[in-house]
Structure 1
C-alpha cells in the first residue's frame, strides 16, 4: 500500500475512526509509544530473555534475524529468533506484529503490521512472510535485512478467536492478505478441540504468487471434510487450473458461500486484502458490496 507520511493509509484511517476495535486500540497504543523507540534500542537484547513467552504481553521487542528464504519472486520468509529459545512466542491466534524501523534516509519510524506464519507453538522462532512492493518503505527495508540484523516489533491482537463459535468460516484474501488467514487456518485445524469448517478464497495476480499452495494443499489433504481452498488468478498461465479474474459474487457462489444456504446460516466471513478488493466485497453507503448481495449482514463480516 503506498504510504503517505510515516503511517500506512489503513492505519491512519483506523486511528481517526470514531470507534475503535481492540486491535485498533492496540495499534494506537503502539503508535503512541513509538517515542520510546530510540531509548529502547539502547537496551541489551538479553534483557528480554525471561522464562515467560517473549511476545505474550504488549511492549517493544528486538528480534534478531536468523535466516531468509525467497519463496516467490517478490515474497521473502524472514525467520527471527525469540529472546528465549525454549519458549514459543506467546502470541494468541490471529495476532500480528507491528514492525518498527527507521529505513536509511528517514528520521521518522515506519510502522507496518505483519502476521506470523509459523506455528504459534513453535519454540524459539517467529516467521514473517513479506511481500515486496516497489517503493514500499517497510517491505523494502525488511527485504534488505541480512541474518544477524535486528528488527523491533510490538505484538497486537486482532480478532479474538473462540473455537467452535462458528461452525463455518469463509476466509477471503487478496495478495499478501493471506497471512492472517493462514495463521488462523493452521490454528483451527491443528486444534483437536476445534471442529470449525473453513472455506478459503484467495485472489492473486499470477500463479507464481500462490506461495502457500503447498502448505494449503497439505492441510486440504489432511482435513478434506473441513478445509477447502480456491485460488483466483487475475493473469493465469495458459496451463493454470485456477479460475481467471477476480473474486466476484459468482466465484463465491461457486465456492458454496451464498448466505442463503442453510449450511452458511451461522457463518463468519473474514476479509483481508487490498482496499479496492475490500471495498468491492463490503461495499459503501451508496453501493452494496458483493457480500451484501450474497445475503451477509455487517455483523457477519470482519476485516483484518
Structure 2
C-alpha cells in the first residue's frame, strides 16, 4: 500500500486482531501484524492497543526512538482528520513567602537604664576602693531612698558636695560603660544574624552508575566484538570493547541499549539489557538468546565473529533504578529475562549503603538453561540480607533442592514480599509467564499495571 493513503477511524478500528493488527501513532497508520512476534514487550501489549490511536502509549514507553525506526517499516498511510493532542505541561505553583516583619531592637531605654545603673554601681564600688560596707548599704538604700524621696535637698559641706560630685562622675562613667555593654551584648533575632557555620560532613562519592559514558541515546556508534561465549543452547555472552580502557557505557541501572543492523535490505533494531555496568571499564557485555528463526538474533547476532563491529545506541527504557526506590523488590524472571534483573541485583548488592531486599524467582526449562547462575549464587551467598533466590524448573534433576513446574500463586506468596507501599514487583520473561504472573499478583492485592510500564507502577514489566 502507498504510505500516502488515508484511513478513517472506522478503518483503523476494524483491524484489531492477532492476524490483522493496525495502530495509529502521531497521525500515521501502521500494519504491525508481522511485528507481533518480535515485539520485545510481548504480543499482548500490541494487541491491547490494536485498532486504536496508540500515541500516548507509544510516547510513555520510554524507548520510542527505537520504535520509530521499527514502525517506519510498517507504515501504510495516515489517519484522516487526525488532530495532534499537545499535552499540557504541569504548572508548578510557587508560594511566595510573606516578608518577615522588622524586629525591634532589644536595646531599649529600660535596658540602657538597667545597664547604666549596674555600670554606675560598679564604678562607685571601684572608686571607693572597697571602703563602703556593701551588704549593709545595699540592703538599706532602697528603703531610705523611698522614704526620703519627696524631701531631697542638696546638702552643704565639703563632704556632701564631694560625695555628690563623685556620684555624678560615677554615673557618667557608668553610663558610658552601660552604652558600650549594650552594644556589645545586643544580638538581633533571626538565624541570618548568626555567623555562618558549615557542618562538617563526608563528601559523598558520586554514583558511577549515573555517569554519562560512550554511548549516545540518539546516535548509533559501532563497537567491535572481542569475545563470544556460548552459555547454553542458543544463548551467548557477547563482550564488546569500548574505545578506551577507562571508558564506561553510560547506562543507568535498569535501562537497555538498542542494536541495529540491515538484514536483507531492511533495517532491524532490537533492545537488550547489558549485564555489565559503569564499573566495568572499557567493555560492554550482553547475554542474548539467539532464536534460529529470529531476524536479528538468528540471522545476525548468532553469526557474529570476533572483530565484527555492531551498532549500539542508548540508554533507553522506563526503569531508572536508584537506591531508596523501595524497601523490598520481588522479581519473577524467565530465561533471558534474567538480564535486567541481574543488573539491578548486582547494583544493589555492590552498594554498601543500599539496604533494599530482593527476592527472585527464576524459571527455566532445565538446569542447563539457568543463566548467570554462578554470579547469582555469589550474590546470594555473600549478601544474604540483600538477595535470595528460588529456582523453578520444568524438568528438574533428581534431588533438586528448589521448585518444579510453573510459577504459581502459592509459589509467589511463599517467595515474594507482601503487598505494601514500599514493595515493587518486577517481571521479565516469556509473554505467557509475564501475563499469568500479573493476573496472580493482582489477585494477591498488588496494584495492576497499565499497558505501558512506568516507574510508578507497583508491578513493573521490562
State the TM-score bracket (shorter-chain normalisation): 0.7 to 0.9
Q: After superposition, where does 1:1-304 map in structure 2 within 5 Å?
A: 4-5=34-35, 8-10=38-40, 13=45, 17-20=54-57, 24-26=61-63, 28-32=64-68, 53-55=213-215, 57-103=217-263, 106-140=264-298, 141-155=300-314, 156-259=316-419, 264-282=420-438, 289-298=439-448, 299-304=457-462
How far apart are residue 115 of structure 1 and its match? 0.7
User: Does the CA-based 8 Å contact 2:228-2:237 persist in structure 1?
Assistant: yes
Partner of 1:19, secondary structure, is helix
Q: Gaps (5+ residues) in structure 2?
A: 1-32, 72-211, 449-456
Partner of 2:360, secondary structure, is strand
How far apart are residue 160 of structure 1 and its match? 1.9
How far apart are residue 100 of structure 1 and its match? 1.0
Deviations, residues 107-164 of structure 1 (Å, cap 9, x unaligned)? 1122221111023311110000011223112221211100010111211133121211
User: Does the CA-based 8 Å contact 1:54-1:89 persist in structure 2?
Assistant: yes
Question: In structure 1, what is the Cα distance between the partners aligned to 2:368 and 2:444?
Answer: 30
Question: In structure 2, what is the Cα distance between the partners aligned to 1:20 and 1:81?
Answer: 35
For the aligned residue pairs, the C-alpha RMSD in angstroms reads 2.5
* Structure-2 residue corresponding to 1:39: none
Question: In structure 1, what is the Cα distance between the partners aligned to 2:70 and 2:436?
Answer: 34
How far apart are residue 216 of structure 1 and its match? 0.7
User: Does the CA-based 8 Å contact 2:338-2:371 persist in structure 1?
Assistant: no
* Structure-2 residue corresponding to 1:38: none
Partner of 2:239, secondary structure, is strand
How far apart are residue 242 of structure 1 and its match? 2.3
Question: In structure 1, what is the Cα distance between the partners aligned to 2:55 and 2:217?
Answer: 26
Question: In structure 2, what is the Cα distance between the partners aligned to 1:21 and 1:195?
Answer: 34
Structure number with the higher strand fraction is: 1
User: Considering only CA atoms, is the larger Rg found in Structure 1 or Structure 2?
Assistant: 2
Deviations, residues 173-195 of structure 1 (Å, cap 9, x unaligned)? 11111100001111111122221
- Cα distance change on mapping 1:174 and 1:17 into 2, 3 Å: farther
- Cα distance change on mapping 1:6 and 1:252 into 2, 3 Å: closer
Aligned length: 274
Q: Gaps (5+ residues) in structure 1?
A: 36-51, 283-288
User: Does the CA-based 8 Å contact 1:280-1:290 persist in structure 2?
Assistant: yes
- Cα distance change on mapping 1:23 and 1:238 into 2, 3 Å: farther
TM-score (norm 2): 0.55
Question: In structure 2, what is the Cα distance between the partners aligned to 1:174 and 1:253?
Answer: 18
Question: In structure 2, what is the Cα distance between the partners aligned to 1:191 and 1:30?
Answer: 31
Question: In structure 2, what is the Cα distance between the partners aligned to 1:73 and 1:127?
Answer: 18
- Cα distance change on mapping 1:258 and 1:21 into 2, 3 Å: farther
Question: In structure 2, what is the Cα distance between the partners aligned to 1:220 and 1:151?
Answer: 34
Partner of 1:177, secondary structure, is helix
Partner of 1:138, secondary structure, is coil
Partner of 1:246, secondary structure, is coil
* Structure-1 residue corresponding to 2:184: none
Question: In structure 1, what is the Cα distance between the partners aligned to 2:261 and 2:34?
Answer: 16
Question: In structure 1, what is the Cα distance between the partners aligned to 2:59 and 2:403?
Answer: 36
* Mean Cα deviation higher: 229-238 or 214-223: 229-238
